[in-house]
Structure formats: C-alpha cells, structure tokens
C-alpha cells in the first residue's frame, strides 16, 4: 500500500478494476451524475451509469465510412471501443434547453393618449432548473480536445454562454487512454491523441487486470486517495506505455493539416465541391455527432391562444436549408455551398475565430455519414486539385 | 458672343469633349445650339421622328414611357453632362423610343442628328471619338437599367433550395 | 475591424447572465414611415436598464416578440436625442417583424443589445464622407448622420446618396431639408418615378457620377441590398478610394448577437459581433463569393 501523502498530481497508481466501482459511488455520493458508455441499440452511447455493471464489457467498435459494428472480444475490458456514437457535448451544450417562459398579462389601458383596449405585458420566468454536475467517465484524448475547443467557443472574454459555463465549471473528467484506434481515427494528425496529456481529473489506462490511474487535479487526487491502490510495477508501466505508443500507430486515417485554412478558404471555387455536393444528402448527421459543432437555434413554443410561450434552444446545423436565411432567401440555398461552409469553417475559418482548428480527428462524421463522405479524403482531393 | 462661340465654350467644359481637337469642336458647335428649357417642357414624345441629340448643361430632364393603367413612368433622369436622345445617332432607330421632359429648369446643347451623322461619316476621327464616348454612355445606361430590372428593393421571392 | 468606443458590455440590456434573456421595453410611439415600414419608439420598463443602456450608430438590438422570436434591428435614431428612447425603424417583412404590426402604444417587447460594431465616426474625422444607402439601409445610418451633424465642423464635405424603389418608399422625407441645412448634401434617387416626381431617377451607385471625390480624404459608409453595395464599392474603388476607407454594413442571419449560434458567419467572421460594419479591406476575399 502506498501512503496517500506520497500522492501528487501526476502520480500514477495501479487500481484494481473493482475499485472503479467505488470511485463512481464516491462521485455520486458527492453530488455528481456519473455518465459514461452504455450499450444501446447496438451502439455505444454516453448516458448515466451507476456502476461498473452498466459499462459495456468486452466490446470493440469497428468503424468505417457509413458503418458501425460492435465486436465481442470476450475479454474482461471496458474501454476498448473507440469514440461512441454521440459525443460528450450533449452534457455541456444540451441538444434541447429550456431558456425561459413568458406569460401574457393583459391589462385595461387607462392612460390617456393610448388607444382604448388592452395592452399586452409579459411576465418572464427564467429557467431555474438546477445545473447538473456531471462526472464524465471514459473521455478520450480527442474528446477532451473537443471540450477544450468548445471552451473557446462558449467561454470567451467578450461573451460567455452561462449554461455552458455552469456545467463546465462543475465538470469532473475521468479520462481514458485510447488503445484501439480504428479505421476512422486520425487524432495523431490533429495532434490531439491518442494519449492524454492534461485537462483531466483522473486518467485511466486499461490493462487486462487493473487500471493505471494518473491524477490530474486536486479533486482527482482526493478521490483516488480514498481508494485501495498499489504502486504500479515497472512491468505494468512499460506495458501501458507500449500500448499507448502502439495505439498511435493504429490510425486508420490521416489529414495533412499544413496551411489548411489557406488551402480551403483559398479555393472556394474548387471543382471538388461540386463532386461532394452530388453525394452529400445535407442530412446534418456529421454536425450532430461532431464534438465541436456548436451551432444552435432558439425558438418559441407557444400555446394555442398565444398567452404562454416557452423559449428553447436546440442544436442547429449549417446543413439545414434555412440555416442561413435572411429576409429574401437563403444565403446558401445549395448543398454545395452548405458542405463547403461546414468544411471550410471546421478546418479553416475556425482557426481565425478561435485560434484552433474545429476538428479533433475523432472520425465520427465519417462513420455516421449515411453515404460515407470522408473529410480526410475531401481535403486530400482539394489539395490534389489545387496542386494540379 | 456669337452663338457658335458660346456653344464651343460650353463644350470645352465637358470632360469628354476635351479629347477633341479645336477644329472638331468647332465643327460640332456649328451644328449645335443652346436651348433654355423650363420644367414641364417636352423635348420629344415616344414615337416622334428623330431630330436632335442633347447634352444637358444644367437642370434635369426625365425620360419616360406611358404605360396603360399606370400612367407615365419616369425611368431615368439626366443632369449636367449626361445626354439623351442618343438613339438618334445610331443608324437603325428612326423614331424616339421614350419621351423626354424637363423637370428642373436648365440648358441643353441640341445637336442636329442628321448633320452629326454626316459629320461622323465624313471625318472618322471625330466619328471614332464621338462613338467611343457614346459606347461609354450606353454602357452606364445599361448598368443602371440592369440594377433597376433587378428591383433591388422589392419584396424578394424565395430562391430555390436543395432540401 | 471597427470597434465600438464605449464598453458596450457594461451598457447592455437583457441577458443578466441568462442566455437570450431580454429586457422588456414599452412601445411609446408608432410612426408609419413608408409602405410596410414603421418606426417604433421604445422605453425600457426597468429604469435601471434605461439608465445604463447606451449604443453607437451602426449597432443593433435583438428585438423579441414573445411567441414569435427575435429579429436583429438597428437603432435608427440620433444617439443623444429622442429622450433616451430606443428607436427602431422596421421593415415588416418576415414573421417576427410582421408581428410588430400588431403592437400598440403601451405594449411591451423584449430587447437585447446593443450588439456589433459601429460606424467609424472617430476614424473618419477630417475626411469627406459619402454615405451611400438604399431602402431599409438608411435607418442604420441615420444615427451616423446625426452624429456627424452635431460635430459638423469635424468632417469635410458630407454627401448622402440615398435610393429607394419609388418616391413613396423614401424614408424620413421631412428631414432632408434639415439635413441639407446642417451641411449634408442629400442626393436621393428612385428606381422609377411618376409624373409628379421631379427628383432623380436612377440607382445609388451612379450618383457618384455627380460629384468629384478626393480619394485619399474620402470615406464611404454603405448599407443596403448587397447588390447595391457591390456597385457602390466598385464605383468607390474606381475613384481610387482605398478599400480601408470603404465601410460596409452586412446583413446575415443574426440570431444570438454574441457569436455563439453560428448562423451569421461569413468566412472567419461572425457578422453579429465582428460586424455588421466592416472596412472593405477586411471583407475582400469573402465578399461576393457565390453562396458563401
């Protein structure tokens, strides 16, 4: 047994797998909603989990353009799949969020000079639901990078999204190092993974019989200190390092990021946009599964009489036909211009806006595109066309 | 001052006449005269036979068309150094394609178009300079017409959208 | 990039640390301007907000009609007159703006703002100013006109080029004489006139033909349909006015005003927070790219 006093941020311990259960319980008893991977509809999704029992066990996810399959490995391992169908952004930036409601409060007009009749006043009531405190269990390096990207979008010096900030500030991140990248992964190209560097509270590397756990914050440290753990043997540490190094070599895809904003925004008239527009269905799947896409729309839900209205925020997508509507029509009425907007934003304009690219290399948009459009292939084709 | 000198003096002020040699300016002045006009004064009606080409020196002249049920619609106004009646110097058009009416008192230079055409035919140097200038005038008129045709301020109609 | 001089964040109405939360404002006065265009004078119902609220010409508010939603509307008045009222001249065109048709004095609407960049009234001091606008593009420039008039001696020659579809679509016609007297040369033009119209018939860009500019000391401020602004820019550039002295107010689908919702993007810009007013040299590569 290691003495808790010897533990510091950056320390790594060997944690028996069952201890993770206690750690989850500890988080829950401290007011966290623990969310993590769960099997649902033959897909791994991120939902509330109560214990280790809820985690998928012995599953690999095989992802290809427009294809997602789970494979049984029979191994007693929890985190071998690669990023789930959904991303974590649903917890910080909810897909549907009530903002406020307003109630009509009409009154007789007595004041002079006013037209006789009733005046319309409104009583507003802000959403007062308590902000959930989430503990995210099993966050990959690409996913943590995506959270960092959205931090830059929603928590800026000029404006901050209060909903995002409140959830982000209460967040606990239990990260996991990805050991089985797959055909759609390219986090190495984007410089985001597969190994975690910082930004987590705790970081797991899953071995066959135990977790190697690195403490990344005071909070993580104090949770870890309450568990039963051992010092990791040199053998285990070497094996873990070897596994993460091997993982970096398993990238199924790559993306040349050199001068990416220039290549894309400098060639808005490339022929390739016409080609991809013929395949793209403008279904918006890519933007919904993307962990960094942040566009949203707000609208009023009104009762039949128009006396009560509820204002909601929902995810939107630059692929939706009315996304760019201005009085008189859509700025981008065609799929070509919408796909071009998405890609030139994510891999180009984003850099100018937030000083980071909008892609972390998770590959979700490739997997979940119903026609298998692959952004790495599109970028390569545009580079090729530009060079020719 | 004799009338020809008077016209020459006015022509010399117009930027695009400054390319002309003195004898060409003189020849142009000889077939032109100054005309003072009042608001409401009609220069010609749509369908009239061609006679003069006009350069506005001051005031404002409107070009109009009569449209049944809508009345007379003014679609262009000319001011200083703009010109109207230019279709009369083209070889094909034989009648006025619009009406012209003064809307603000002023002065125009009126040039006899038969004589102007003859002058341009006889001396291709002045003909070239004059016609080259006319192309510029027509191009800018076309641009105005195009922007008006687009009806920029109208209630827009929906553009077609891929769904 | 043009930026505001005041720290707008500390003068904003609405949100109070809640996303899209408006501040209520009461309709004080309604004035019809032209066919389908109405001016609303609004006062915040909370005196604290009313006291705090400040804006600069060119900025806009998000106007909220409960049950319908929000629309981005520029302030159209003089900053320092109108008794602190917020003046919006609205073209009643889409669902939210059409809903303003039903408003009567005493009704309330929601406001959030001000948002966006403003006209560069400081930067263009000492210069000749050409204000070129069309249709509903005049209201966002009206505040700039009044600001210039108030310090008229600080600017050179000031010319307003204004175009509308027909004479009855010209906005604020009663004010042109005041503007002329205050040293602003008003040149109005319409696309088509009837027999009673003795003014100009033509289009805004061609109004440049009627005066000479000294390109190095001339600034152009333009707002109107994008096609009109394009030709205004061509005319200005043809006269060798540097692109950095041509200021353009763009319209895109502004939904949040804070650069969050993504709808109003053009290239690297969120029009709602980086614009709507841009010097043209910043827009060059993205302006007039088809469907961008």
Same domain flag for C87 and C164? no
Task: Give the pair of three-digit tokens for residue C152.
Answer: 């008229």
Residue C270 has pLDDT above 70, yes or no: yes
Rounded distance, CA A70 to CA A42, Å?
A: 7
Quote the longest CA-to-CA distance of chain B. Answer: 73
Test the A interface: residue of C8, C11, C14, C19 with most A CBs within 10 Å: C19
The three-class DSSP label of residue B137 is helix
Encoding tokens for residue B2?
Answer: 């004799």
Given a cut of 50, whether residue C286 has pLDDT beyond it is: yes
Q: Quick check: A274 contacting B, CB < 8 Å?
A: no
pLDDT band at B163 (very low <50, low <70, confident <90, very high): low
Q: How far is B151 from chain A (nearest CA, A)?
A: 12
* Separation of alpha carbons A297 and A58, rounded Å: 39
C211 in the same domain as C235: yes
Provide the pLDDT for residue B162: 61
Do the chains contact at C202 and B76, CB–CB below 8 Å? yes
Residue B1's pLDDT is: 75
Given B39, B80, B154, which is nearest C165 (Cβ)? Answer: B154
Cβ within 8 Å of residue A65, ≥6 positions away: A184, A366, A367, A369, A372, A373, A374
Which pLDDT score is estimated for B151?
87
* Closest alpha carbon within chain A to B159: A329
Whether residue C260 has a cis bond before it, omega within 30° of 0 = no
Residue B34 CA: distances (Å) to CA of A170, B37, B58, B97, C146 = 85, 10, 11, 23, 42
Encode pLDDT of A38-57 as tens digits. Answer: 999 999 999 999 999 999 99
Query: Residues C63, C71: contact at Cβ < 8 Å?
Result: yes
Q: What mean pLDDT comes out for the span A65-91?
A: 91
- Cβ separation C192–B82 shorter than 8 A: no
d(CA A14, CA A1): 10
Q: State the average pLDDT for chain A.
A: 92
Answer yes or no: are the C-beta atoms of B50 and B14 closer than 8 Å. no
CATH number of domain containing C199: 3.40.50.80
Q: Is residue C57 part of a domain?
A: yes
- Interface predicted TM-score (ipTM) of this complex, two decimals: 0.90
Q: Closest to C203 (Cβ–Cβ): which among B73, B79, B148?
A: B148
Is the pLDDT confidence value at A17 over 80? yes
Q: Which residues in chain C have their CB less than 8 angstroms from residue A127's CB?
A: 18
Torsion of CA A249, A255, A259, A260, to 10 degrees: -150
Q: Is A95 on the interface with B (CB under 8 A)?
A: no
| Residue A108, pLDDT above cutoff 60 | no
Q: Does B82 touch chain C (CB under 8 A)?
A: yes
Specify if C185 maps to a domain: yes
Chain-chain contact of B143 with C231 (C-beta, under 8 angstroms): yes
Q: Taking CB atoms and an 8 Å limit, are C200 and B77 in contact across chains?
A: yes
Per-residue pLDDT, A1: 47
pLDDT of residue A113: 46
pLDDT class of A114 with cuts at 50, 70, 90? very low
Contacts of B158 in chain A (CB under 8 A): 329
- Residues of chain B positioned with their CB less than 8 A from the CB of C192: 73-75, 148
Does position A174 have pLDDT exceeding 90, yes or no? Answer: yes
For residue A332, give the nearest of A237, A244, A238, A268 by alpha carbon. Answer: A268
Q: Which residues of A touch C251 (CB under 8 A)?
A: 326-327
Mean pLDDT calculated for residue range A142-159: 95
Mutate to test the interface with A, among B155, B160, B161, B163 (most CBs of A within 10 A): B161
The single-letter DSSP state of residue B12 is: H
CB contact residues (below 8 A), chain B span 101-160, against chain A: 156-160
pLDDT at A45: 94
Instruction: Say yes or no: C47 and C147 in one domain.
Output: no
CATH number reported for the structural domain that contains residue C43 in this entry: 2.40.30.10
Q: Do B159 and A282 touch (CB under 8 A)?
A: no
A-C CB pairs within 8 A amount to: 134
Q: Is residue C180 a part of any domain in this protein?
A: yes
| Domain match, C96 and C189 both | no
C42-94 per-position pLDDT tens digit: 999 999 999 899 999 999 999 999 999 999 999 999 988 767 899 999 999 88
Planar angle of CA C69, C73, C79, nearest 5 degrees? 140
**Is residue C29 domain-shared with residue C97, that is, in the same domain?**
yes
C8 bridge partner residues: none
Cβ neighbours of C64 (radius 10 Å): 29
**Residue carrying the six token digits 């022929």:** A271
Q: Which residues of chain A does B156 touch, with a Cβ-Cβ cutoff of 8 Å?
A: 327-329
Q: Hey, which chains touch C, using 3+ CB pairs under 8 Å?
A: A, B
B156, B157, B159, B160 alpha-carbon torsion, rounded to 10°: 180
> What are φ and ψ of residue A129, in 5° steps?
-65, 135
User: Taking Cα atoms as reference points, which of A300, A246, A286 lies closest to residue A367?
Assistant: A286
- Check residue B156 and give its pLDDT: 64
Q: Please list every residue in chain A whose beta carbon sits closer than 8 Å to the beta carbon of residue C22.
A: 124
Q: Are A68 and A85 in contact (CB under 8 A)?
A: yes
* C152 part of a folded domain: yes
- Taking 70 as the threshold, does the pLDDT of residue B157 lie above it? no
- pLDDT score recorded for residue C13: 83
Q: In Å, how far is C253's CA from the nearest CA of chain A? A: 5
For the stretch C211-235, pLDDT in tens is 889 999 999 999 999 999 999 999 9
C279 domain-assigned: no
C-alpha C155/C-alpha C124 separation (Å) is: 8
CA separation for the pair A44, A38 (Å, rounded): 5
Q: Which two tokens stand for residue A264?
A: 């894309």
Chain B nearest CA to C223, separation (Å): 12
Residue A257's φ and ψ, nearest 5 degrees, are -95, 0
Domain end residue (candidates: C81, C115, C149):
C115
Shortest distance between the Cα of C173 and any Cα of chain A, in A, equals: 25
C37-51 residue pLDDT tens:
999 999 999 999 998
Q: Indicate the pLDDT class of residue C5, thresholds 50, 70 and 90.
A: low
CA distance C106 to C43: 10
pTM > 0.95: yes or no: no
Whether residue C189 is found in the same domain as residue C242: yes
Which token pair is A293? 């896409």
Where b means 16+ CB within 10 Å and e means fewer, A243-272 reads bbeebeebbbbebebeebbebbbebbebeb
C289 domain residue, yes or no: no
What percentage of chain A exceeds 70 in pLDDT?
95
Give the number of domains in chain C. Answer: 2
Contacts of C12 in chain A (CB under 8 A): none
- A161 and C19 in contact by Cβ < 8 A? yes
| Distance between C16 CA and the closest CA of chain B, angstroms | 37
CA of B31 to nearest chain C CA: how many angstroms apart? 27
Which residue in chain B is spatially nearest to A328 when comparing CA positions? B156
Q: How far is A374 from chain C (nearest CA, A)?
A: 22
pLDDT tens sequence across C233-263: 999 999 999 999 999 999 889 999 999 999 9
Q: Does A282 touch chain B (CB under 8 A)?
A: yes
Which domains, and CATH codes, for chain B? Answer: 3-149 (2.60.120.10)
Partner residue facing A299 (CB), from C69, C107, C252? C69
Alpha-carbon distance B61 to B39, whole Å?
8
Which chains lie within 8 Å of chain A at 3 or more CB pairs, if any?
B, C
Mean pLDDT within A371-386: 96
Q: Among A22-31, B143-152, C203-212, which range has the highest average pLDDT?
A: A22-31
What is the strand order of the sheet B106-112 is part of? B32-37, B106-112, B52-56, B83-84
Name residue C220's beta-bridge partners.
C130, C246
- List the single residue in A282, A321, A329 with the smallest CB-CB distance to B156: A329
pLDDT tens across B3-39, in order? 899 999 999 999 888 888 999 999 999 999 999 999 9
CB contact under 8 A, C108 and A121: yes
Q: Which of A258, A259, A256, A284 is nearest to A341 (CA)?
A: A284
Contact between chains at C19 and A336 (C-beta distance less than 8 A): no
Q: What is chain B's length?
A: 163
Pair C25, C110 in one domain: yes
pLDDT at B50 over 90: no
Residues C65, C136 within the same domain? no
Give mean pLDDT, residues C133-153: 95
Buried b (16+ CB within 10 A) or exposed e, A200-215: bbbbbbbbeebbbbbb
Q: Does the pLDDT value for residue B87 go beyond 90? A: no
What are A300's strand-pairing partners?
A: A311
Residues C14 and C100 placed together within one structural domain of the fold: yes
Claim to verify: residue C110 and residue C152 sit in the same structural domain: no
Domain endpoint, select from C82, C115, C148: C115
Distance from CA of A329 to the nearest CA of B (A): 5
For residues B78 and B63, the answer to whether their CB atoms sit within 8 Å is yes
Mark yes or no for CB contact B162/A330 under 8 Å.
Answer: no
Query: Residue A107's pLDDT band (boundaries 50, 70, 90)?
Result: low
CB contact under 8 A, B74 and C210: no
Give the count of beta carbons closer than 10 Å to the beta carbon of residue C9: 10
pLDDT for the residue numbered A335: 94
Q: pLDDT tens-digit profile of C146-179?
A: 999 999 999 999 999 999 999 999 999 999 999 9
Using H for helix, E for strand and C for coil, what is the string for chain A?
A: CCCHHHCCCCCEEEEEHHHHHHHHHHHHHCCCEEEEEEEECCEEEEEECCCHHHCCCCEEEEEECCEEEEEECCCCCCCCCCCCCCCCHHHHCCCEEEEEEEEECCEECCCCCCCCCEECCEEEEECCCCCCCEEEEEECHHHHHHHHHHHHHHECCCCECHHHHHHHHCCEEEEECCCCCCCCCCHHHHCCCCCCCCCCCEEEEECCCEEEEEECCHHHHHHHHCCCCECCCHHHHHHHHHHHHHHHCCCCCCCCCCCHHHHHHCCCCCHHHHHHHHHCCCCCHHHHHCCCCCCEEEEEEECCCCCEEEEEEEECCCCCCCCCEECCEECCCCHHHHHHHHHHHHHHHHHHHHCCCCCCCCCHHHHCCCCCCCHHHHHHHHHHHHHC
Looking at the complex, report in whole angstroms how far the Cα of residue A295 sits from the nearest Cα belonging to chain C: 5
Q: Do B64 and B75 meet the contact criterion of CB atoms below 8 Å apart? A: yes
User: Maximum CA pair distance of chain A?
Assistant: 88
CA separation for the pair C106, C256 (Å, rounded):
26
DSSP C116: S
Q: Is C191 exposed, middle or buried (0-12, 13-18, 19+ CB in 10 A)?
A: buried
Domain coverage including residue C70: 8-115
Please judge whether B151 and C135 are an interchain contact, meaning their C-beta atoms are less than 8 angstroms apart. Answer: no
Q: Which of B57, B46, B39 is nearest to B103 (CA)?
A: B39
Query: What is the structure's pLDDT at A53?
Result: 93
Residues B7, A30: Cα–Cα separation, whole Å = 97
Same domain, C13 and C68: yes
Q: Which helix (H) or strand (E) holds C236?
A: helix C226-238
The answer on C210 and C177 residing in a single domain is yes
**Residue recorded with tokens 């037209």:** A115
Are A375 and A287 contacting, i.e. CB atoms less than 8 angstroms apart?
no
Cα C97 from Cα C277, distance rounded (Å): 22
Are residues B159 and A330, on separate chains, in Cβ contact within 8 Å? yes
**Residue A154 at interface with chain C, using a CB cutoff of 8 Å:** yes
Buried-exposed string C105-117: b where 16+ CB fall within 10 A, e elsewhere: bbbbbbbbbbbbb
Domain ranges of chain A: 4-95+131-248, 260-295+317-387
Is the separation of the CB atoms in C190 and C164 below 8 Å? yes
B101-134 confidence digits (pLDDT tens): 999 999 999 999 999 999 999 999 999 999 998 8
């Amino acid at each position: 047994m290691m003495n808790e006093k010897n533990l510091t941020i950056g320390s790594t311990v060997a944690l028996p797998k069952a201890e993770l259960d206690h750690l989850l319980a500890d988080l829950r008893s401290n007011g966290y909603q623990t969310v993590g991977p769960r099997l649902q509809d033959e897909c791994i999704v991120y939902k509330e989990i109560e214990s280790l029992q809820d985690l998928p066990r012995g599953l690999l996810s095989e992802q290809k353009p427009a294809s997602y399959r789970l494979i049984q490995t029979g191994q007693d391992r929890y985190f071998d799949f690669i990023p789930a169908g959904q991303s974590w952004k649903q917890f910080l930036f909810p897909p549907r969020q009530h903002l406020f409601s307003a109630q009509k409060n009409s009154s007789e007009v007595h004041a002079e000079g006013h037209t006789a009749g009733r005046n319309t006043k409104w009583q507003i009531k802000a959403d007062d639901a308590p902000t959930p405190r989430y503990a995210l269990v099993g966050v990959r390096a690409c996913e943590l990078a995506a959270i960092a990207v959205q931090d830059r979008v929603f928590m800026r010096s000029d404006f901050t999204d209060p909903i995002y900030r409140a959830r982000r500030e209460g967040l606990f991140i239990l990260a996991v190092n990805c050991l089985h990248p797959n055909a759609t992964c390219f986090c190495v190209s984007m410089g985001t993974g597969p190994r975690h560097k910082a930004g987590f509270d705790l970081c797991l590397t899953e071995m066959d019989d135990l977790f190697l756990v690195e403490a990344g914050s005071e909070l993580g440290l104090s949770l870890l200190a309450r568990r039963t753990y051992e010092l990791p043997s040199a053998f285990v540490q070497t094996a873990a390092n070897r596994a993460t190094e091997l993982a970096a070599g398993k990238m199924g895809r790559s993306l040349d990021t050199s001068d990416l904003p220039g290549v894309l925004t400098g060639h808005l008239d490339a022929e390739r946009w016409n080609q991809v527009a013929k395949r793209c269905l403008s279904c918006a799947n890519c933007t919904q599964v993307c962990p960094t896409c942040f566009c949203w729309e707000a609208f009023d839900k009104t009762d039949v009489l128009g006396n009560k209205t509820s204002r909601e925020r929902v995810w939107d997508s630059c692929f939706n036909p009315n996304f760019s509507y201005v009085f008189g029509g859509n700025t981008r009425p065609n799929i070509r211009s919408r796909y071009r907007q998405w890609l030139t934003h994510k891999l180009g304009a984003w850099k100018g806006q937030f000083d980071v690219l909008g892609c972390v290399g998770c590959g979700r948009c490739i997997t979940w595109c119903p026609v298998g459009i692959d952004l790495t292939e599109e970028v390569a084709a545009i580079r090729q066309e530009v060079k020719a | 001052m004799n009338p020809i000198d008077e016209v020459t003096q006015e022509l010399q002020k117009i930027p695009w006449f400054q390319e002309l040699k003195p004898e060409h300016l003189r020849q142009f002045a000889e077939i032109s005269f100054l005309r003072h006009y009042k608001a409401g004064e009609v220069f010609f009606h749509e369908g009239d036979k061609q006679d003069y080409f006009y350069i506005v020196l001051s005031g404002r002249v409107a070009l109009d068309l009569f449209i049944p049920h809508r009345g007379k619609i003014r679609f262009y106004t000319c001011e200083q150094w703009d010109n109207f009646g230019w279709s009369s110097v083209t070889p094909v058009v034989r009648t006025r394609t619009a009406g012209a009416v003064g809307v603000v008192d002023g002065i125009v230079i009126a040039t006899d178009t038969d004589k102007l055409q003859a002058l341009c035919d006889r001396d291709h140097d002045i003909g070239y300079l004059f016609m080259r200038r006319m192309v510029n005038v027509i191009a800018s008129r076309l641009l105005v017409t195009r922007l008006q045709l687009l009806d920029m301020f109208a209630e827009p109609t929906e553009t077609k959208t891929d769904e | 990039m043009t930026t505001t001089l005041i720290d707008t964040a500390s003068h904003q109405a609405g949100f109070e640390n809640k996303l899209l939360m408006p501040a209520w404002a009461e309709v004080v006065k309604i004035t019809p301007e032209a066919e389908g265009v109405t001016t609303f004078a609004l006062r915040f119902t909370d005196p604290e907000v009313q006291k705090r609220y400040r804006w600069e010409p060119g900025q806009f508010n998000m106007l909220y009609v409960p049950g319908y939603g929000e629309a981005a509307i520029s302030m159209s008045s003089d900053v320092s007159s109108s008794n602190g009222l917020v003046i919006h001249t609205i073209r009643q065109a889409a669902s939210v703006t059409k809903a303003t048709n039903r408003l009567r004095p005493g009704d309330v609407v929601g406001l959030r703002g001000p948002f966006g960049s403003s006209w560069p009234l400081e930067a263009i001091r000492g210069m000749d100013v050409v204000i070129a606008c069309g249709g509903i593009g005049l209201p966002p420039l009206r505040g700039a006109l009044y600001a210039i008039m108030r310090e008229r001696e600080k600017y050179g020659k000031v010319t307003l080029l204004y175009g509308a579809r027909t004479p009855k679509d010209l906005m604020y016609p009663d004010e042109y004489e005041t503007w002329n007297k205050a040293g602003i040369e008003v040149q109005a033009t319409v696309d088509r006139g009837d027999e009673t119209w003795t003014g100009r018939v033509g289009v805004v860009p061609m109004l440049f033909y009627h005066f000479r500019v000294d390109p190095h000391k001339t600034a152009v401020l333009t707002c109107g349909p994008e096609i009109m602004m394009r030709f205004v820019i061509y005319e200005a550039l043809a006269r060798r006015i540097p692109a950095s002295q041509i200021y353009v107010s763009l319209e895109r689908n502004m939904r949040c005003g804070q650069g969050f919702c993504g709808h109003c993007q053009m290239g690297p810009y969120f029009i709602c927070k980086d614009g709507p007013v841009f010097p043209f040299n910043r827009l060059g590569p993205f302006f007039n790219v088809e469907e961008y």
